[in-house]
Chain A
């Protein structure tokens, strides 16, 4: 039963990928494209992503009722547990919204069908990644996800800037993948097995396994935007189409983190330094992300750097969870994964809407600058409100979602009664205050009375852009006021994370 749900969950998006692409291409070839006519590729992609919710909800119900399960298809091992469900839920939700959002953005553009095809493939791969239970499987899904994202990042490949971002992203991702593969080779050498459960059972402290763990952290860390592997992030986020920026920041980074956890879990017991290492990376990410974002004048670049600091919070939570067996900390980290996906997705989609109405809708490829937002609330009140909600939520202000997940991580940290961890928590809270230093001015700029000339000449915001933005804003507020909304999923995920590390 669960096996069926898993099968359909992964297959629907993956199968839809070539189908929607072909459908789009054939329609384009057959009939001269009427401008503004919605491509069948887009509708097919949207339908399949919505259809995939059915097996997903079934799987969630079953796992919440009877716990995680291992499913084997031939030699491929899957583990359907809370961690994978969290990642899948976020991918499907944000994916569907991004497909809806990107319609007007891409209408009639060359390569539109390719976009939807690649996007659904990427989502399908992330679903597979979330549930992998052996290193081989994990790496393959990881590669499929990465490869489909290359051309999505470099989508506007006629523009030198986008092309440059795409090239750097490709090379750095490939280096990361190679390092992960080396780690897999080392694990294989040491234990002879690739199945995560078997590795956990047979792992003994050894320098090879420690090195393998390091390679996993660094290799997957490229994708998860750990410092100092993060340098591709600002370029890729600012040059990719806004929907893809939302996916990258909201889900792909988290997928990298989940992959890292899956790979590192069995090995963590072999060396005592992992928890502190993860916490240190978290602290560095927080600080570097915030400081780099402080002086940015391009909106999407600012948001990209802010993603760095949020990964820091997730790492802090995971580090505390692994070091002190804290289910609350793991729950907090996963709660933050969900919240960050929603808030950062909202921020990028709202900013993307403004980018579209102010610049790209007119054909300009200039990036969206913070000064362009001046007075945008006069013309686009709901989008401005949504962007403000996203940004203030990211800064950790109640009653928005970001506050609740950060609080959970902080509270779990204090519960450990460890002085160093408590100091790190205060450091994390201080970073939240620091982040307000670049989030608050954005809100101020949005609500000016003097509208920038760009705003005066802006297009009307299309409905298919406004609806996803509104929906995300409502979710961010709802979860902020009532955290138990996602409790079931997060608690199940936290148990899965602890199980992954052998607790």
Chain B
């Protein structure tokens, strides 16, 4: 049963992708229907999987040779992410009905999104390192194609290729790690690696651990690979919500969580993970504070929140990180879709050109504020529970410097999102574009997410039980929801953090009074807008590669004599090498 459901979860979106493409953009309504149907069906299959969790491989396709077997497994970690991918995927597709109305190339859009959903589900439901890498690459391909969906816009194309190259370079870490595992253990099975990690030579395990960390950092847009996510905002908003908030960027966190038992013993690894998480969270929060573009603000926020998840893993709080993954997927998707509605109505992405939109778009305002409250970590909403759990774990098991900086970041988070909400929905209107509230299909997507932002905290108990039952290597304990929630409420760390959050909100509210203090920090503005120098580094790498390529082109002189000389030079070189080596 589980194997059928797994195949459906992956296969239904793919079937839908092919069908939507075949229509050839002749019947948009049919394409909409097909896309929604297949993504919802996949969501149903994923939800059904909750009833069949297992820690054993449920499906094996023998390929043989150096490709091992294609195996699939539905354990707690996989089911969680598969449900998120298909669930939020369906909502994003539904949202797209209104958002992409009038788009000429709907077929390409939907088929890429569906192809992505299937691949993401596959990534988390497989237990073969090779298949995981394959799905990893497919998601990168879809992400690139969707970012540069509007191929006529050079910024979009640049953003897409940048995302592709950066995540692919990081992916080399996964490639190397997977191959090291295969050559040391003779198998691609994840369970093999988790079981036998301690038998591997230290050097190999260390390479694997840091390679996986690099791959995860690149995929999740963490320091030092964070520059691609803001530029990926050229994608249509449903794509940003699905891929760059709720699913694909979580793949890195998923990778770290899944392989944590194998790598936790590698000296320096956990510290490195904590470092990556903390730096990303803090740096991105500062960048969000200075953001001028609504989607870029949300992008930086995503990097920052992913930093929380990575930090959680670094201090050993696997459950906390995945709980926050769930909360974040819900409220960030909500924020992106709501932002999409705002951008669709206001005709601009610039915060400076918005303002006072709340009265014309009350529904959007409510759901956006719900998401914002969840992000800031205001009690009762899901972000509160999961963020506090992470901070609690961090205080107990992690370094103090890490905890302090994450606490500070929580305050900054509240500040920047409050600023965002204010600049969009309140104040005076700076925009004369004719406005409309969210359209019907958009609302169908937005309201469930808003409700979920309030309620998913209640899932903590069942989720914990699912994890403890199906993840034998992770050493987790299962508590009831009640126990978890009470535990969070009672921890002193929680109230400390809530205090900081309130301070962050107050900082924005009283910004005029606090202006002299802020002027001190204005120097941060310019480096923040330039990604603290990482953009320059990227540009330098690209430019130098192109310069070398241009130089090399001079070797193709076009003169026959030079070409023949090349042949003879080759002969001399090879003779010299043979003579010297012999």
Contact = CB atoms under 8 A, between A and B. Distances in A.
Contacts of A414: 179-180, 182-183
Interface string A396-427: 01110001100110111111010000100110
A430 B169 CA distance: 7
A227 B563 CA distance: 11
Nearest to A234: B556
A229 B565 CA distance: 9
B571 interface: yes
Given A292-B553, A295-B549, A436-B168, A228 B130 contact: no
A203 interface: no
B563 A426 contact: no
Given A412-B66, A487-B65, A417 B570 contact: no
A277 B576 CA distance: 11
A18 interface: no
B64 interface: yes
B172 A175 contact: no
B134 interface: yes
Contacts of A436: 161, 164-165, 168
A240 B175 CA distance: 38
Interface in A430-444: 430, 432-434, 436-437, 440-441, 443-444
Centre residue among B65, B165, B180 by max chain A CB count within 10 A:
B65
Contact of A440 (B105, B164, B180, B556): B164
A430 B179 contact: no
A214 B169 CA distance: 36
B570 A229 contact: yes
A273 B151 contact: no
Nearest to A482: B63
Interface in A213-269: 213-215, 217-218, 221-222, 226-229, 231-232, 234-235
Interface in B121-171: 130, 134, 137-138, 140-141, 144-145, 148, 150-152, 157, 160-161, 164-165, 168-169, 171
A447 interface: yes
Nearest to A432: B168
A214 B140 CA distance: 43
B582 A273 contact: yes
B406 to A, nearest CB: 33
A433 B172 contact: yes
Contacts of A448: 151-152
Contacts of A404: 67
A91 B171 CA distance: 35
B1 to A, nearest CB: 25
Given A392-B141, A444-B151, A444-B160, A407 B570 contact: no
B130 A407 contact: yes
B515 interface: no
Contact of B548 (A175, A291, A332, A484): A291
A412 B152 CA distance: 42
Given A288-B552, A407-B130, A425-B179, A229 B66 contact: no
A449 B104 contact: yes
Given A218-B567, A295-B546, A407-B67, A277 B556 contact: no
Interface residues of B, number: 62
A271 interface: yes
A449 B567 contact: no
Chain B interface mostly helix, strand, loop or mixed? helix
Contacts of B553: 292, 295
A222 to B, nearest CB: 6
B64 A484 contact: yes
A272 B65 CA distance: 29
Given A211-B575, A221-B570, A175 B130 contact: no
A482 B65 CA distance: 12
B176 interface: yes
B152 A450 contact: yes
Given A218-B570, A397-B137, A444 B556 contact: no
B63 A483 contact: yes
B405 interface: no
B201 to A, nearest CB: 10
Interface in A296-342: 328, 331-332
Contacts of B144: 440
Contact of B556 (A231, A443, A483): A231
A345 to B, nearest CB: 22
A294 B546 contact: yes
Contact of B66 (A215, A277, A411, A441): A411
Centre residue among B150, B161, B569 by max chain A CB count within 10 A:
B161
A399 B563 contact: no
A399 B405 CA distance: 42
Interface string A434-474: 10110011011101111000000000000000000000000
Given A210-B582, A410-B175, A403 B157 contact: no
A445 B566 contact: no
A249 to B, nearest CB: 17
Interface in B457-473: none
B86 to A, nearest CB: 20
Contacts of B175: 410, 426, 429
A487 B67 CA distance: 11
Contacts of B560: 167-168, 171-172
B578 interface: yes
Contacts of B104: 449
Contacts of B172: 426, 429-430, 433
A437 B161 contact: yes
A175 B569 CA distance: 13
A4 B579 CA distance: 45
B577 interface: yes
B538 interface: no
Contacts of A288: 552
Contacts of B558: 235
B157 A449 contact: no
B544 to A, nearest CB: 12
B134 A403 contact: yes
A444 B163 CA distance: 14
A111 interface: no
B577 A273 contact: yes
18 contacts: A168-B563, A205-B582, A213-B578, A214-B571, A218-B570, A229-B567, A231-B562, A273-B577, A294-B549, A295-B553, A331-B66, A397-B138, A411-B66, A426-B176, A433-B165, A440-B164, A449-B152, A484-B63
Given A214-B571, A449-B152, 7 more contacts: A273-B581, A403-B134, A410-B175, A415-B182, A433-B171, A445-B151, A449-B151
Interface of A: 167-168, 171-172, 175-176, 179, 205, 207, 210-211, 213-215, 217-218, 221-222, 226-229, 231-232, 234-235, 271-273, 276-277, 288, 291-292, 294-295, 328, 331-332, 381, 392, 397-399, 403-404, 407-408, 410-415, 417, 422, 425-426, 429-430, 432-434, 436-437, 440-441, 443-445, 447-450, 482-484, 487, 491
- Closest 5 CB pairs between A and B? A414-B179, A273-B581, A231-B563, A228-B566, A398-B134
